[in-house]
Amino acid sequence: MKKGPSYFTNLHLLNLILTIKIWLAEALPSNKTAFILSQRLNREGPYVGLVVPNPFEIAPLLSKTVFKPHPYVPWLDLAGRRFHVGTIEGQKVVVVMCGLAMLNSGITTQELLDFFDVTQVILFGIAGTTDPNLNIGDTTVAKYWAHTGLWNWQRYGQGPNDPLSLESSGDYTRKFGYLNIGTYDVPKGTNLLNNVWYQPEEVYPVTGVPEVRQHVFFLPVDEKLYETAKKLVDLELVSCVNTTRCLNSKPKVVFGMNGASANVFIDNLAYRQFLYYDLNISLVDMETAAAALVCYEANIPFIAFRSLSDLAGGGTGANQISIFGDLAAENAALFVSSFFKLL
């Protein structure tokens, strides 16, 4: 169709109106300005939301040519977070760094869903592994995530056959198992700390009844996103940080394990073994389960990609994250950019 003078006049007018709106918004408090602009951006959506815990994890993605910032609004600062707006492989995305641990992850994911028209959420970054079959540098796509920081700490003298406080009212359960701290006494002796029982999260999903709680321990990732990710099983991953820091084995992409998050950096062999052999958990980090829980309650598809930076206390010498953390972050970003080619 031939574009006449009126077409270009109307286009110029629309750009002028948009410019005036931005000028007016900038006269408002900064958070109000950003909120107004986010509503405008939503008219261009929907978006895929990406949540990243730390600066060195988000840097490889933003520095790659694969992420193309929005031409007019490359980022918005809202509620203490910077939301990077752009595209990856033609798909509109909003990328946000949440910060360390569960509170930051949960708050940021909720803000992402509140401010932007997001249809699915991907969390990516690094993680530790408790699984002897996995190696540093491997990129993992877990099928389930659990929050392992919600405990009922049993009083001394009671055991597995004794009901927990408030168990009868449905607040707590013995279903998912416990850690007996006395087992790890060296030398063996009386340990007054007794047992820690792991608890499911209390949730109120939008698909349920308001004020009627549900409980969930292992949260499944979205099946369609998971099946799409499986197409990257043969993805070539980075093996060296530089010529002096290379992995002993070629990293691989691994699917199907259980991951767990808590406000705990795990660098302890005994606890590593407990998580793997008693709770069947292969991955540990400090953010994923919080984001997964927010998406579960909001009924938003969720998946997480975690590359392994350390053995969670299973290696010899100092924790390997200081050596291979950057490599793991690079592999996580590589997997995300490759995943978007499939979308």
Beta bridge partners, 201, equal: 216
Q: What is the dihedral sign for C-alpha 48, 51, 57, 59?
A: positive
Q: What is the pLDDT of residue 52?
A: 98
Question: By C-alpha distance, which of 326, 308, 187 is closest to 254?
Answer: 308
SS3 of the chain: CCCCHHHHHHHHHHHHHHHHHHHHHHCCCHHHHHHHHHHHHHCCCCEEEEEECCHHHHHHHHHCCCEEECCCCCEEEECCEEEEEEEECCEEEEEEECCCHHHHHHHHHHHHHHHCCEEEEEEEEEEEECCCCCCCCCEEECCEEEECCCEEECCCCCCCCCCCCCHHHCCCCCCCCEEEHHHHCCCCCCCCCCEEEECCEEECCCCCCCCCCEEECEEECCHHHHHHHHHHCCCCCCCEEECCEECCCCCCEEECCEEEECCCCCCCHHHHHHHHHHHCCCEEECCHHHHHHHHHHHCCCEEEEEEEEECCCCCCCCCCHHHHHHHHHHHHHHHHHHHHHHC
Can you give the pLDDT at residue 63?
87
pLDDT value for 28: 45
- Mean pLDDT, consecutive 10-residue stretches, the chain (343 aa), reads 50 58 49 86 97 97 91 93 96 98 98 97 98 98 98 95 96 96 75 92 97 98 98 97 86 98 97 97 98 98 98 94 95 97 94
Those residues whose C-beta lies under 8 Å from the C-beta of residue 232, and which sit 6 or more positions away, are 253, 335, 338, 339, 342
Cα atoms in the Cβ-side hemisphere of radius 13 Å centred on 183: 11
Distance of alpha carbon 175 from the chain centroid: 26
Residue 8, pLDDT score: 45
Position 24 scores a pLDDT of: 45
- Note the pTM of the prediction, 2 decimals: 0.89
**What pLDDT, on a 0 to 100 scale, did the predictor assign at position 16?**
57
- How many CB atoms are closer than 10 A to CB 250? 11
Q: Give phi and psi for 74, each to the nearest 5.
A: -70, -20
The C-alpha atoms of residue 208 and residue 214 are separated, in whole angstroms, by: 8
- Each residue of 158-175: b (16+ CB within 10 Å) or e? eeeeeebeeeeeeebbbe
In this structure, what is the dihedral angle of CA atoms 282, 285, 287, 293, given to the nearest 10 degrees? Answer: 20
